[in-house]
Structure 1
Amino acid sequence: MAGAGFEAVSSDAAETRKFMEEKMHRNFYRILKKLLYFILAGVILSGSAAWAAEKYYYDWTAPPEIASMKNPYSGNPGVRKEGGAVYQKWCLRCHGRKGDGEGSSSLSLRIPPGDFTDKKRMNAQTDGTLFWKVRVGRGEMPPWQLILRKEEIWKAIGFIRKFSK
């Protein structure tokens, strides 16, 4: 009789063990499946974030309503001096004394600062576009809207324009 009871216990243990192995196997694949979904979601999200960042970096286009804005100080020669003071204080380090993008800090930047002496490039930029770019910044160029008033930015743009004349 002792042997019969042992076989019954042994048989139950084997079935329990088999049941537990199957359950662990199913749980493993369920967890693996969830993990793969999370990894896939991460890849998709990081790819879309990288795409958005790349689009932001390369597509530095001002909204049309801002690009069409006119410089309220355009044609006022006295204002150019004030714009020069703003340029000297805030822009000179990167954009240089000649506006050619070769300022004292330009060598430490990953992307060279804009060259305001390039007539073709500067003629393609409206005052509104320049205003927007200065205000919002990009990459290593800070968003100057946090430091400069709108009037100062407009005056600096008037000054910057002289480099491409």
Structure 2
Amino acid sequence: MKNTMKNIAALFLIFVFSGSVVNAQGWTVPASAKKKQNPYEATSKNISSGKKIYNIQCKSCHGDPTMANMLPLAPVAPTDLGAQNFLIQSDGEIFYKVNKGQGAMPAFEKTISDEDKWMVIAFLRSFDKNKKVKQQVAEVKNPEVTDVKLELNVNEADKTMLAKLSGVTKKGKRVGLQGIEMSFLVKRSFGYLDVSGEDPYTNESGDVQIQFPKDLPGDREGQVNMLVKVTDDAFYGNLEEKRVVTLGVPTDPVNPLDERAMWGTRANAPIWIIVTFVGGVLAIWSVIFLVLFQMIKLPKLAKSKD
């Protein structure tokens, strides 16, 4: 028993020590990799794309940037990627580390595209307060506006939808708002289906147009419930527009309860379940009748023995 405990303690110390050694060694990033700069501008569109990728690929371990809510792994916890001591690195250093991985962090060189990795770096740079790393900034500057409106136009002939986001300037002129991400969502049985496409950002006129999927089922008339909204914009809020549009493929609704299946009603239960149930009931009642019959015979058997 003592030897077993000693072995366990030794293995634990080796594990902790090896983790400490890995952490102490740090990363060795080639000079050529450090010089790389993000080829994508830090626009609101790219930052938003990077945020989506980060939430899918990185958040489960690294948590929310600047919130220090990383996954408590041992012996070395993941880094807060929004911390300033992390962001003093160059774009190339971060890109290299994401590619190669180390310790518990996997290598993403072949699992995430280079473009997506640069988008994540653009997102992380939005938390950089030190500004020690020069970055390209090409943000869209919309004027200060009031009475922000979201309008939706539907062309049922070619199955397109056009959303327009606009506001009134201080001079009283209504202008389009550029570079704002929009979400086009179709209501389905268990939530919403995003049909926004790859570039759901408003242009200089405040417009964004999408092509509705040509094979998406609707009701008998082809109608679907649409929800179009501004995607989490800090300036304009969560504006949204709901509308029933005839853009889906006309489809006769199928009631799952009408099928002969496990979840069907009694009349539509699978044949094997009905046979099994009836057979089981008959078997149980047969046993009951057999027991009763034997009990009736007991007095006669007792008299015959007397």
Q: For the superposition of Structure 1 and Structure 2, which TM-score range results when normalised by the shorter chain?
A: 0.5 to 0.7
Question: Helix, strand or coil for the counterpart of 2:109?
Answer: helix
Q: TM-score, normalised by structure 1?
A: 0.59
The aligned residue for residue 151 of structure 1 is 115
Specify which of 74, 90, 93 is matched with residue 60 of structure 2: 93
Unaligned stretches of 5+ residues in structure 1: 1-53
Question: Helix, strand or coil for the counterpart of 2:72?
Answer: helix
Specify which of 46, 61, 75 is matched with residue 28 of structure 2: 61
1:161: Cα distance to partner?
1.7
Name whichever structure is richer in strand by fraction: 2
Aligned-residue identity in percent: 28
CA distance in 2, matches of 1:108, 1:86: 22
1:115 partnered with 2:73: no
CA distance in 1, matches of 2:42, 2:65: 21
CA distance in 1, matches of 2:64, 2:126: 12
Deviant stretches of 4+, over 4 Å: 54-57
Match runs of 1:10-159 below 5 Å? 54=21, 58-103=25-70, 106-123=71-88, 125-159=89-123
Judging changes above 3 Å, is the alpha-carbon distance between structure 1 residues 87 and 126 closer, same or farther for their aligned structure 2 residues?
same
Judging changes above 3 Å, is the alpha-carbon distance between structure 1 residues 130 and 71 closer, same or farther for their aligned structure 2 residues?
same
The aligned residue for residue 276 of structure 2 is none
* Contact preservation (8 Å) 1:83, 1:156: yes
Matched residue count: 112
Which amino acid letter does the alignment assign opposite residue 89 of structure 1? Answer: I
1:138: Cα distance to partner?
0.4
1:157: Cα distance to partner?
0.7
Which amino acid letter does the alignment assign opposite residue 142 of structure 1? Answer: P
* Contact preservation (8 Å) 1:67, 1:126: yes
Judging changes above 3 Å, is the alpha-carbon distance between structure 1 residues 69 and 98 closer, same or farther for their aligned structure 2 residues?
closer
* Contact preservation (8 Å) 1:73, 1:154: yes
CA distance in 2, matches of 1:162, 1:109: 29
CA distance in 1, matches of 2:38, 2:92: 7
Q: TM-score, normalised by structure 2?
A: 0.33
RMSD between aligned alpha carbons?
2.6
* Contact preservation (8 Å) 1:135, 1:144: yes
Which amino acid letter does the alignment assign opposite residue 67 of structure 1? Answer: K
- Greater relative contact order (Cα < 8 A, sep 6+): 1
1:98: Cα distance to partner?
3.2
Question: Helix, strand or coil for the counterpart of 1:154?
Answer: helix
Unaligned stretches of 5+ residues in structure 2: 1-20, 130-306
Name whichever structure is richer in helix by fraction: 1
